[in-house]
Amino acid sequence: MPSATPEPTPRIVLGVAGGIAAYKAVEVLRRLRDAGYHVAPILTPDATRFVAPLTFTALASEPARVGLYDDPNLPIPHTKLGQSADLIVVAPATAHLIARFAAGLADDLLTATLMASASPVLLCPAMHTEMWEQPVVQENLATLRRRGVLVLEPERGHLAGGDEGAGRLADPATIVALVQRIVEGYRGPLTGRRVLVTAGGTREPIDPVRVITNRSSGRQGHAIAEVAARLGAAVTLVTTTVRPLALDVQRRIDVVPVVTAAELRDRVLARASESDVIVMAAAVADFTVAPAPNKLKKAAGPPKLSLVATPDILVELTGARRDGQVIVGFAAESTDVLANAQSKFERKGADLLVVNDVTTPGAGFESRTNEVVLLLRDHDPVTVSMRTKEDVALEVLTRVVALLPQGDQ
């Protein structure tokens, strides 16, 4: 029998930024090589102040690189390295490197390689406690997480200068263990989960021309679907507004277009039992009508519309919820916002309710930003200040992850 074709060796780009923890990257490199990975090191110019490229060259699968223009035989090294990588690991990732990556800069070989790659990225931050706790550092990390970058948070321990606190680079063995999980398919805390998201405002026909609808643009629901995909989930998006999805998640989201509340209900209930998470971000019409078969004429006078309540899809979902399933509802309010939302939370039975005041400038329908309050069982309300709808999506999904049974995920 012909011998089986051996699996290709996973290729890891190991980025080393300029911090004192750079010396630990040597141990990370050694462990990666011992695990059988092909490792290509990239050091930033500042990293070479702490460790010598020759040390990495001696241990790696190919010579360590520092500059974009150092090798005349490889005129575009960032493209070659970025395209061939199965994973890019940056250990340590300094506050400066994190800021440049979040801003989309490509001003050295490491950041240019990050920009030139579609592979997963794992950042392993290391810095002094005061730097780690800076809001701007955490905001930059939140931006990168929302884009799908994996972050292995630092440990507490002894730091440079004799201090002690949070900011110590994660143990090399922990880094390599996570690398193995990523190579095997892990993409974030929703890896292996099926997430069902609804988005947009339903349109209930009055006649073949006119509809009853609302002002929902579907932006928040689409943002949740995209961020969930970046966190590793298999996503189904049931939407009334088919807007373009981000290029990096298009192939990982199953888009199901619908128009009416009845169509949305049918599509959602058909997929509910197989979903680990259901996020009902759509603005579903509360009432519908029996549509006229032909266009109503103005000359005939105002039509008499007999409104009929649509089924409460969220209540149906929570009533049939299976063990371990997390269901998220939305409440758009304009008066007595928290009181009305709390009442809805109790009636609907959702695990999490996302509440927004649609009269707040920048937080209403069709805006690119949002400001919400999250209601959870046995917790005080959590206010999420004004930010992009993608960043709101990350906040919502972070709470969802905490509500899911962890098991072997």
Q: Is there a contact between 354 and 396 (Cβ–Cβ < 8 Å)?
A: yes
Q: What homologous superfamily is domain 194-403 in, according to CATH?
A: CoaB-like (3.40.50.10300)
- Which sequence spans correspond to the domains of the chain? 11-183, 194-403
Q: How many H-runs (helices) and E-runs (strands) does the chain carry?
A: 13, 19
For 50-69, how does the pLDDT look when each residue is reduced to its tens digit (9 = 90+)? Answer: 999 999 999 999 999 999 99
- Could you confirm whether 356 is annotated as catalytic? no
3.40.50.1950, 3.90.850.10, 1.10.287.130, 3.40.50.10860: which CATH number matches 11-183?
Answer: 3.40.50.1950
Q: What average pLDDT does the structure give for the chain?
A: 95
pLDDT of residue 170: 98
The mean per-residue pLDDT over the stretch 356-385 comes to 93
Residue 254 has pLDDT above 80, yes or no: yes
pLDDT of residue 71: 82
Q: pTM of the full predicted structure?
A: 0.91
| Angle CA 75–79–83, to nearest 5 | 145
Judged against a pLDDT cut of 90, whether residue 203 lies above it is answered with: yes
Residue 282, pLDDT above cutoff 60 = yes
Segment 123-152 mean pLDDT: 97
- Residue 75 pLDDT: 80
* Alpha helices for 65-132 (secondary structure H): 77-84, 95-103, 109-115, 129-132
The answer to whether 344 touches 333, Cβ cutoff 8 Å, is no
How far, in Å, CA of 409 to CA of 23, rounded? 32
Average pLDDT rounded to a whole number, residues 289-318: 94
pLDDT greater than 90 at residue 161: no
β-bridge partners, 55: none
Supply the pLDDT for residue 5: 60
Q: Binning pLDDT at 50, 70 and 90, where does residue 4 land?
A: low
**Mean pLDDT, range 221-250, rounded to an integer:** 95
Residue 380 scores a pLDDT above 70: yes
Q: Above 80 in pLDDT, residue 210?
A: yes
**Catalytic-role residue among 214, 340, 356, 370:** 214
State pLDDT tens for residues 67-104: 999 888 788 899 999 999 999 999 999 999 999 999 99
Give the model's confidence band at 364: pLDDT under 50 very low, under 70 low, under 90 confident, else very high. Answer: confident
Q: How large is the average pLDDT for residues 41-49?
A: 98
Compute the distance between CA of residue 114 and CA of residue 112 in angstroms, rounded to an integer.
5
User: What pLDDT score does 74 carry?
Assistant: 80
Residues 241-258, mean pLDDT to the nearest whole number: 92
Question: Would you say residue 2 has pLDDT above 60?
Answer: no
| 194-403 and 11-183 share a CATH fold | yes
Confidence of residue 326 (pLDDT cuts 50, 70, 90): very high
